[in-house]
Amino acid sequence: MDIPEPTRRRHIRHARRRARSREMSRYAGKPLRLLWRYLARRKVSHLIVLTSVLAAVGCALASQYGIKNLIDALPSGRAHPAVVMRAFVILVGLILADNLFWRVGGWIAARVFVTVTGDIRREMFAYLTAHPPAFFADKPPGVLSSRISATANAVYVLENTVSWTALPPCLTVVGAIAMVATVSVPMSAALVAISATLAFAVFVLAKKGTSRHQAFAARAASVDGELVDIIGNMGLVRAFGAVRSERRRFDAHLSTETQARTRSLLYLEKLRLLHALATALLSAAMLGWTLWLWSMDRATTGDVVLISSLGFAILHGTRDLAVAFVDLTQHVARLGEASSILLTPHDMPEHHDAPPLQVREATIEFRDVTFAYPGRRPVLNGLNLQIRAGERVGLIGPSGAGKSTILALIQHFYEPAGGSVAISDQDIAKGSLDSLQAAISVVPQDASLFHRSLLENIRYGVPKASEPEVRRACEDANCLDFIAAMPDGLNTIAGDRGTRLSGGQRQRIAIARAILRDSPILLLDEATSSLDSASEAAIQTALERLMQNRTVVAIAHRLSTLQSFDRILVINRGRVTQDGSPAELAQQPGIYRDTLMRQRKRTTPSELA
């Protein structure tokens, strides 16, 4: 059968995305390989920056030689002014070229370095979102978001440090030593030996400090995560009068991070001090050697000036190189720490050639499914369950019986330890995740909304839906009236997690979102449990419209909301202990009848009316 062109292109995009995800995991904890991945994508731009730096440093060094020529030309300059003028023009030309090359490199770097950070944030975010929900359960959002920023910032700083702080002094030192050879080859050879020894010593000592830099990187990330966690729960902090205790807790985290940073920086300062002493002695020895050569009439006055300036160039160059190197070590450590967390291999990678699910009849089947959360006893034990297309099935049972786990497994949030879950007789683990998500709409107990307009929130599952389609969905969800009463209507900002709306309003927005998505399978997770009677009535009406012609699986602790359902499944200890219509189970001894009787006793006459 011929595959439509849009579908074929979509499959190709998904295959490429999965291939990139598999490739990205190889860079976890390998900062230099990760850095090269992004540099290699824009080789031409980085090559231009490198060439500009090389040319600029070359001109800067040549200008030192130009000064020597000018000084050597001065004694005979009055008699031969053309010689002096030529030396002057050459020197000025080298100075102008030096500045020009720096600006060319800076202009290109301003674009390519920023573009690289965008590439990193984009791919890190894409890789992160491909993790299953279990990955995010024990990782604060602030820690993950800060690591994405830390990774991009570390690469940006590394590129800038190498281009403007590390590479120029490295080239300067090499070029200066080569120029010293024009005055004295033994002096140049001695400089090579001493510089190599000094560089090796700095490298060894810097490597020993890596653990300090990694400790600082981890502490900095934990402080960022703690900040986001506290600010995100500020209402709870206020409600329990815990402002002072949270301040003390944050102070403790901050103190630990400050100590780790101080240890890291002090270690760097020790390296810089050691290097400064060595290079100062080296420069003094060079100048003394040159003066001795001059006294022996083996060096000109210009040579003395050249060696003096080159000595300072080597002094400052090796100092800057040492500073840059230890800074690079710190940022490489931070990049490695962040990437090791973000690029953790996916627990449930999508199969590289996973076909889309073909949901013609939205049946759901659990086939001998066993499941346990990590480090805990099994929640489901050989669960077998069949739900027919268009059937409404309610799940009830004690807390921890496995009801929410069943909904999570239908959405393939977790991989069963045994057995399989099938939709339309197809194992969902073998189908593409996009097609599974398109087949399911969810209305949770606590509807999550983005800090965006109501229009964007309702369109979330169908971004290209027209405004008339959104309004029809809102009308079916009984939320058009309260939206119209808001000053900005559908353009009203919902607030962080929808805090500008009441619980009932958030729930009706979530129902409108599900109506607009129009998926064949609907999952309801206690959608009316936390609402007052008036809100529950409005939402129940909206849910009735939403459930029409769909396969519905609902968790509810209010049994009154399940009376129109086809079947009720009583889940206890990971198994189905009762299965039947509401009327049938009301006549049978068990959890359903006991719960129904208790709830009827608590129902007031006014609520019955």
Q: How confident is the model at residue 607 (pLDDT cuts 50, 70, 90)?
A: very low
Lookup: tokens for 452: 């965006």
Lookup: tokens for 448: 């999550």
Higher pLDDT, 499 or 224: 499
In the CATH scheme, what is the code of domain 446-518?
3.40.50.300
Longest dimension (CA), the chain: 124
**Arithmetic mean of pLDDT, 179-202:** 72
- For residue 609, the model assigns a pLDDT of 37
For residue 388, which of 525, 565, 516 has the smallest C-alpha distance? Answer: 565
- For residue 568, the model assigns a pLDDT of 92
Helix, strand, coil in percent for the chain, rounding step 5: 65, 10, 25
DSSP string, 500-568: TS-HHHHHHHHHHHHHHHT-SEEEEESTTTTS-HHHHHHHHHHHHHHHTTSEEEEE-S-GGGGTT-SEE
For the ranges 19-28, 171-180, 191-200, the one whose mean pLDDT is highest: 171-180
Mean of per-residue pLDDT scores for the chain? 80
DSSP string, 123-149: HHHHHHHTS-HHHHHTS-HHHHHHHHH
- For residue 488, the model assigns a pLDDT of 87
Q: How confident is the model at residue 235 (pLDDT cuts 50, 70, 90)?
A: low
**Arithmetic mean of pLDDT, 101-120:** 90
- For residue 11, the model assigns a pLDDT of 53
pLDDT at 181 over 80: no
**Arithmetic mean of pLDDT, 72-88:** 74
- For residue 387, the model assigns a pLDDT of 92
Higher pLDDT, 240 or 125: 125
Lookup: tokens for 490: 């559908």
- For residue 234, the model assigns a pLDDT of 73
Domain(s) of CATH 1.20.1560.10: residues in the chain: 17-342
Q: Cβ–Cβ contacts within 10 Å for residue 251, how many?
A: 11
Q: Please check whether residue 116 is in contact with residue 35, taking contact to mean a CB–CB distance below 8 angstroms.
A: no
Domain(s) of CATH 3.40.50.300: residues in the chain: 357-439+521-528+544-609, 446-518
Looking at 3.20.20.105, 3.40.50.300, 3.10.20.440, 1.20.140.10, the CATH number of the domain 357-439+521-528+544-609 comes to: 3.40.50.300
The structural architecture, per CATH, of the domain 17-342 is: Up-down Bundle (1.20)
**Arithmetic mean of pLDDT, 360-365:** 89
Beta bridge pairs of residue 523: 442, 553
